């Protein structure tokens, strides 16, 4: 029996090309400039695989609109041409994703994610889905500044564990950072108390994250040719169905939610995000739709909070290793304001402007999600005389924005002072937490956790370059991971206690 799979794919590609050409002729405005396309395959083979944020920034200089750095890449999906618009400046991102958020708050169709059971996650649910508003309302209700004050005891308890771990085994600092972030967020989200040693709960979730980044962070052919999802698993080019099926079976969101739900039913539980919504006074027992919302929103707290915090904290250790003068200035401010008889607290934040500027500069220098999450245009739009077609994917190059020399002169230099004084440079928090109706609802809690951890580590430890066996300085090598949430890969540094009263108190 002849194999018609390749001719069918070729036919669909030809139809796609014709449809793409037609779709872009109906507008009298041109598409934004971008790299030249290759016949019917568009820019598919030009799409960057590693560190795309740097490639997109370079495209902006080559093809973008002067001073606005708007550029375009295109590739084909069946029946319709698919266009990606890359926003490389804060102005373009703000004009479109903030000022026109009603048009730009949708998510692209993610076929592979839907097959893997991820379609209804808080990060990927479509803007016009009936549950979208419920998700946002629930997340804001559980993460607003008033509620986050109740999380302070959890943050402080996890901080003390982090400092003690750094004191005992400083060489494992990245593991300690992961345990700290996971411990705080799991307690807030589910009421789960992380054990002091190896924790099976965390191990299961971390394994899920690793599998997600390994298998779902790259595009699959089915995302460009959706009809492939209807073919049997044994068919050529359909191995993605097996990967999706295996990933879906892990279902960590249901595992963690059901754990919390069962503990609440037993009457022996800690207050948490889940218990707040399952036990609200005057409310009936949640129905199936509301339980789905609670499950996905509680998972969002962990997915959106744990990994991002670890990314910033890893950058912090690297930057303190490389910039000892900045570290000294930050420690001097803490000693001048706080003294040495106690550790900094959250209420001290307003009195430590250099620490606040330091955290902003860490996030500007190494944004946790360099390309953010993708947006989708709901209707045809025109911006600066260029056509942005309905259904186009819009990417805010957050790394490109925070390294724009017009916003941040000498952007590759780490300099906290740029965020201080009567004329500070643009606040990077405007960009790094997302945009419009998709902005991160947990940003306030994240900022508080970062302040508490960083100010206390600076008060109690000195961070410097590692030494080899011959006591020679080892220069740390910087390499970034290629995931949605990007990290500096593990490196060595030296973490030594400072001779302060505060550290002596901690050791006791």
Close Cβ partners of 441 (under 8 Å, ≥ 6 residues apart): 136, 139, 140, 143
Whether 493 has a binding-site annotation, put simply, is: no
Q: What are φ and ψ of residue 200, in 5° steps?
A: -65, -35
Residue with tokens 């669909």: 12
Q: With beta carbons less than 8 A apart as the criterion, state whether 311 and 485 touch.
A: yes
In sequence order, which ranges of 128-251 are alpha helices (DSSP H)? 132-143, 145-148, 152-168, 173-190, 200-216, 221-224, 240-250
Close Cβ partners of 267 (under 8 Å, ≥ 6 residues apart): none
Q: With beta carbons less than 8 A apart as the criterion, state whether 302 and 189 touch.
A: yes
Tokens for 184, please give them.
């705080």
In this structure, the strands spanning 375-376 and 461-467 are unpaired
Q: What is the spatial distance between Cα 183 and Cα 161, in angstroms, rounded to a whole number?
A: 10
481 dihedral zone (left: phi>0; alpha: psi -120 to 50; beta): beta
Q: With beta carbons less than 8 A apart as the criterion, state whether 420 and 113 touch.
A: no
Binding-site sequence positions for heme: 440
Q: Please state the residue numbers annotated as binding site.
A: 440
């Amino acid at each position: 029996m002849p194999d018609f799979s390749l001719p069918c794919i070729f036919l669909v590609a030809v139809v796609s090309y014709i449809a793409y050409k037609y779709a872009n002729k109906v507008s009298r405005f041109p598409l934004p400039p971008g790299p030249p396309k290759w016949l019917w395959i568009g820019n598919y083979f030009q799409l960057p695989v590693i560190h795309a944020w740097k490639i997109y920034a370079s495209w902006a200089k080559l093809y973008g609109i002067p001073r606005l750095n708007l550029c375009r890449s295109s590739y084909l999906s069946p029946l319709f041409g698919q266009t990606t618009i890359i926003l490389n400046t804060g102005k373009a991102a703000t004009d479109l994703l903030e000022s026109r958020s009603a048009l730009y708050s949708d998510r692209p169709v993610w076929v592979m994610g839907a097959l893997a059971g991820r379609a209804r996650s808080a990060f990927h649910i479509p803007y016009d889905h009936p549950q979208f508003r419920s998700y946002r309302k629930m997340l804001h209700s559980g993460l607003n500044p008033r509620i986050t004050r109740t999380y302070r005891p959890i943050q402080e308890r996890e901080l003390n564990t982090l400092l003690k771990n750094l004191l005992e085994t400083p060489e494992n600092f990245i593991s300690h950072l992961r345990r700290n972030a996971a411990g705080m967020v799991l307690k807030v989200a589910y009421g789960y108390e992380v054990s002091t040693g190896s924790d099976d709960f965390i191990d299961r979730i971390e394994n899920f994250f690793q599998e997600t980044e390994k298998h779902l962070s790259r595009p699959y052919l089915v995302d460009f040719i959706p009809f492939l999802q209807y073919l049997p698993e044994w068919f050529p080019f359909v191995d993605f169905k097996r990967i999706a099926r295996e990933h879906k079976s892990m279902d960590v969101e249901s595992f963690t939610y059901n754990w919390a739900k069962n503990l609440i039913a037993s009457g022996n539980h800690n207050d948490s995000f889940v218990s707040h919504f399952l036990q609200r006074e005057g409310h009936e027992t949640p129905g199936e739709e509301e339980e789905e919302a609670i499950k996905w929103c509680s998972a969002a707290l962990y997915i959106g909070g744990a990994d991002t915090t670890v990314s910033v904290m890893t950058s912090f250790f690297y930057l303190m290793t490389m910039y000892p003068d900045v570290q000294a200035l930050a420690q001097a401010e803490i000693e001048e304001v706080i003294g040495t008889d106690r550790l900094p607290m959250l209420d001290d934040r307003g009195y430590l402007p250099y620490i606040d500027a330091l955290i902003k500069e860490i996030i500007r220098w190494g944004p946790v999600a360099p390309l953010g999450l993708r947006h989708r245009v709901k209707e045809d739009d025109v911006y600066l005389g260029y056509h942005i077609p309905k259904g186009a994917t819009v990417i805010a190059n957050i790394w490109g924005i925070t390294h724009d020399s017009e916003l941040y002169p000498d952007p590759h230099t780490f300099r906290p002072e740029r965020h201080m004084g009567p004329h500070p440079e643009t606040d990077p928090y405007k960009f790094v937490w997302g945009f419009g109706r998709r902005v991160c609802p947990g940003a306030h809690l994240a900022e508080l956790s970062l302040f508490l951890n960083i100010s206390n580590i600076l008060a109690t430890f000195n961070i410097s370059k590692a030494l080899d066996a011959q006591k020679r300085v080892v220069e740390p090598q910087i390499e970034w991971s290629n995931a949605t949430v990007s990290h500096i890969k593990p490196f060595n540094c030296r973490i030594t206690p400072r001779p302060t009263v505060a550290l002596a108190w901690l050791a006791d």
